Amino acid sequence: MESVSKERIEELVDYIMKKCLWQFHSRAWDREKQNEGILTKTKQLLCGEEVDLSTPNDKVFWVDAVCLADAFKSRCPWLEAMDKDEIKLLMQGLKDRMDYLTITGSLNEELKDAHY
């Protein structure tokens, strides 16, 4: 099961890396907020949960999340067979992987430059 999850996470990562520009913010803290906001709202949409749209940032993240959830549904038919708990675990794994690839594992020193 673990290798299937990793394989599925990498399939989602591959889509984001090739199709989504939001991952390329120039500061680590912007990337953290972006990953959290978009991927949390994507998870909520995939699970049929209510999405908070109370702030302008929530609305911006929601727009990207709608596009991402639609893309995931159309490209990953295996999502339909997953229950909400499995989707939540998958999305947490995706967020962890994206945080690593775009923030903590990045060799881009400018991400941590407070003056950039």
Q: Are the C-beta atoms of residues 51 and 41 closer than 8 Å to each other?
A: yes
At residue 27, the pLDDT reads 81
What is the domain extent for residue 95? Answer: 2-112
CA separation, residue 2 to residues 11, 43, 75, 77, 112 (Å): 14, 19, 21, 19, 32
At residue 13, the pLDDT reads 97
Phi, psi values for residue 53, rounded to 5°: -125, 35
Query: From the first residue on, what is the mean pLDDT of each consecutive set of 10 residues in the chain (116 residues)?
Result: 82 95 78 95 98 96 97 97 96 96 81 68
* Structural domain count of the chain: 1
At residue 77, the pLDDT reads 96
Predicted TM-score (pTM) of the model is 0.90
At residue 115, the pLDDT reads 65
CA dist., res. 98 & res. 114, Å (int): 22
Q: Are the C-beta atoms of residues 44 and 50 closer than 8 Å to each other?
A: yes
CA dist., res. 86 & res. 84, Å (int): 5
At residue 52, the pLDDT reads 95
Judged on CB neighbours under 10 Å (0-12, 13-18, 19+), 82 is: middle
At residue 17, the pLDDT reads 93
Judged on CB neighbours under 10 Å (0-12, 13-18, 19+), 26 is: exposed
